[in-house]
Amino acid sequence: MLRATALALSGHRWNELGYDPPFAQDYLYRFKAMVEYFVDAPDDTPLAGGFPGLGERAMASCAAHRILSALPHWEGCFLCTRPRSS
């Protein structure tokens, strides 16, 4: 989680957004602080519902945009299906 946050803080792929996210860096610093503050549960603590195994991980992703889809919440990639302005 921290490696992904550091990558985002470095501006990785921000040029693909098409806009400048003015508050993103501040939000990412706050998120990083929350993750660093988080304390893992002891190994013997059962998880509610269990942690998904490798076979249960999210498989849907958009090859064009290299992002995970939030199926079943959206029908495909939110960038591919967004309305085009004419």
Burial 10-27 (b: 16+ CB within 10 A, else e): eeeeeeeeeeeeeeeeee
Q: What angle do CA 58, 62, 63 make, to 5 degrees?
A: 120
Q: Tell me: the pLDDT tens digits for 32-86?
A: 999 998 877 666 666 556 655 666 555 567 778 777 766 655 567 777 877 877 6
**Is residue 68 within a helix (H) or strand (E), and if so which, with residue range?**
strand 67-68
**Helices and strands per DSSP (H, E), number in the chain:** 2, 2
Residue 28 pLDDT grade (very low, low, confident, very high; cuts 50, 70, 90): very high
Give 1's contacts (C-beta < 8 A, 6+ positions apart): 35
